[in-house]
Amino acid sequence: MNKPHRDTLYLENAEILSHEAFAGEQFILRIVAPECATKAQPGSFVHLQCDPLQPMRRPISIMRVSPEEGWVDLLYKRVGTGTTLLSRRQPGESISLLGPIGQPFRPDPSRTKPLLIGGGVGMPPMVFLAESLYQERKKQPFVILGSEVPFPFNPQPSQLLLPELPADVIATMPLMDDWGIPCRLASQQDFAGCFQGYVTELARHWLISLNKQARGEVEIFSCGPHPMLEAVAELAAEFDLPCQVSLEEFMACGVGGCAGCVVEVQTAEGPVMKRVCVDGPVFEASKVF
Amino acid sequence: MTQTDPSPLAIEFCGMPFSTPIVLLSGCVGFGEEYTRVKGFSNRDAGAVCLKGTTLEPRPGNRPHRVYETQAGMLNAIGLQNPGVDKVVNGILPSLDFSETRFIANVSGSSVEEYHEVTRRFDDSPIDAIEINISCPNVKEGGVAFGNDPAMSARVVEACRKATNKPLITKLSPNQTDIAGNARGCIEAGSDAFSVINTLMGMAIDIESRTPIIGNNQGGLSGPAIKPVALLKVHQVYQVCRDHNIPIIGQGGITSPEDAIEFIIAGASAIGIGTALFYDPLICSKINNGIEAYLNRHELPSVDRLVGTLQLHQQPAPKCGC
């Protein structure tokens, strides 16, 4: 029987290489998971055992992978019991990972200007997508990252100038400069070099600065808190742009078995409940908002 | 090639050969193929796989959130999301590999007639057995509302019995006063076996918004938190089943071979794995190996020799008037 879905997820006992804490309860975890590192695509996530005392795993999106070195980087925020226990895990320990899970972002080959918008712990899939676009070198992406707590990296003034944006909006994630990808940061807080406001306001600035033809090349990818994604979906609708969003939901199995992590999706046959784990986490924004 | 000895884990359950006592539980493994996504997982590691609860018409299921972790367990309220029995029989069953394991349908409904009709449609299919879900706590009609009423439970079983000669397994609810009495009525109505237990009804509240976390307001509690309750219920139902030679699938919070062995000693012929899969998708082979090691250590030739071997402490006779 033809069963192409079989053996597509891997359970790996992943050694923790580093576990770095940042302000605002943020952590970046680097673990050794060669199968996941090789097979993950931007938008994929992993289902992690935080601690043997927790009956449920936690879904955490992938920020970076190195297929050559076999590691996976995860960014998460300490918000409850599971992530608190996870934050105590030390380098050298092992952690059970199931992954890579989910339908990835699918950029439209005909659109050359991907606009990536990530907020808070929604930044990782945008970083992953940006790095993959950098490796392909076929498009001219623009990345906007937003956070209400200090960013989990050291923002630096970008060397990639964007005359269409206010000159004082200059801070970027250094990796993006390394990849030659223009990126700007946004926050309601008064962070140096950051746009003071919502990510969608900065995105609007940028979209308006484009001529009609260039704007027609744009496609939006986004991940972040629900109200932010709603605003991104509205922005995309306003400018008539395709938009893919990555969603989050409480999750039990992570393999499509329990239908616990659903979201209502509009289809030609009417609304249906789709599983965020294996049908998502990436959905067309216009179908879920 | 020499003939190998039969596996000590192999059992016969209502006439069906199970390669191991493990049954993957309804609602945890979709329609039988979902977990095969995980490399190393095989349906062959389970004696049987119970498919997702199925109704006559498609059901969208409950609104999110549908799952939430609690202390040593989890709440769920999926609400029987399923594509309807015809899609299951015609679209899904033909794609299953029946050489790997036994597949058991799980039928549900809002009326006795619906239970009958869904069972009838599964009767005319390759499915190996049918589990009657009269204990789903997450739907407004049917489900646990039937399962907590012994007369209604028996009516549902009787209606399903008339629709099939395949083995009928009744899934009992722990949310009732006299589970053994209910089991007795179901046996008289034609039940061939029992699943003991379904989830316990529970709730979790977001104290900031003062709303229930689960979209359905309440959900079913599973996981290690319910294991002692489940074990006692298996013990109680076994007291009724023993004399009728009716087997039990013991379930509720099993996460290790030791847990499984406790259930078998309490009277379960087979043991159900559900929530534990979420934590460890490859748990079946570990439980199989652990049971086999236990059998070797206790010099038992097969797992069925362990069923119901519980030796209760003798209690002193109650004194008058106390």
Residue among A9, A57, A249 whose CB faces B38 most closely: A9
Encode burial over B198-219: b for 16+ CB neighbours within 10 A, e otherwise.
bbbbbbbeeeeeeebbbbbeeb
Pick the more confident residue, B135 or B194.
B194
pTM, full prediction? 0.94
Q: Which ranges of chain A would DSSP assign to H, the alpha helix? A: 34-39, 81-87, 123-136, 174-178, 199-209, 212-215, 226-238, 285-288
Shortest CA distance to B21 belongs to which of B296, B303, B210? B303
Beta bridge partners of A179: none
* Of A191, A140, A188, A194, the residue nearest A165 (C-alpha): A194
Residues 6+ apart with CB under 8 A from B289: B257
Question: What's the pLDDT at B1?
Answer: 45
Inspect the interface and report whether the beta carbons of B72 and A55 lie closer than 8 Å: yes
Tell me what percent of the residues of chain B surpass a pLDDT of 90: 90
- C-alpha distances in Å from residue B321, one per residue of A134, B37, B315, B316, B318: 84, 62, 17, 15, 9
Task: Quote the radius of gyration of chain A (alpha carbons, Å).
Answer: 18
ipTM of the complex: 0.94
Closest CA to B253 of B174, B139, B194, B168: B174
3-state SS class at B228? helix
Residue of B60, B78, B281 with shortest CB distance to A260: B78
- Those residues whose C-beta lies under 8 Å from the C-beta of residue A51, and which sit 6 or more positions away, are A82, A85, A86, A88, A89
pLDDT at A254: 97
Chain B residues touching residue A7 (CB < 8 angstroms)? 36-39
Flag whether residue A253 sits within 8 Å of chain B, measured between CB atoms: yes
| Cβ within 8 Å, pair A258-B27 | yes
Of the candidates A42, A49, A32, A79, the one whose C-alpha atom is nearest the C-alpha of residue A63 is A42
- Give mean pLDDT, residues B301-311: 97
Question: For residues B284 and A158, what is the distance between their CA atoms, to the nearest angstrom?
Answer: 52
pLDDT over 60 at B68, yes or no: yes
Q: Residue B4 pLDDT more than 80?
A: no
Phi, psi of B106 (to 5 degrees): -125, 115
Letter string b/e over residues B236-261, b meaning 16 or more CB atoms within 10 A of that residue's CB: bbbebbeeeebbbbbbbbbbebebbb
Catalytic residue among B14, B28, B136, B160: B136
**Do residue A96 and residue B280 have CB atoms under 8 angstroms apart?**
yes
Q: Which residues of chain A have pLDDT under 50?
A: none
Q: What is the pLDDT of residues A122-140, one digit of tens each?
A: 999 999 999 999 999 999 9
Chain A residue numbers with beta carbons less than 8 Å from the beta carbon of B78 are 258-260
- Is B136 tagged catalytic? yes
- The answer to whether the CB atoms of A257 and B34 lie below 8 A apart is yes
Please name the member of B81, B255, B279 whose beta carbon is closest to the beta carbon of A273. B81
Does pLDDT of B154 surpass 50? yes
Torsion of the alpha carbons at A233, A234, A239 and A243, rounded to the nearest 10:
10
pLDDT interval class at B247 (50, 70, 90): very high
Confidence band of B135 (pLDDT split at 50, 70, 90): confident
Which pLDDT tens digit goes with each residue over A65-97?
Answer: 999 999 999 999 999 999 999 999 999 999 999
Q: What is the DSSP letter of B59?
A: B
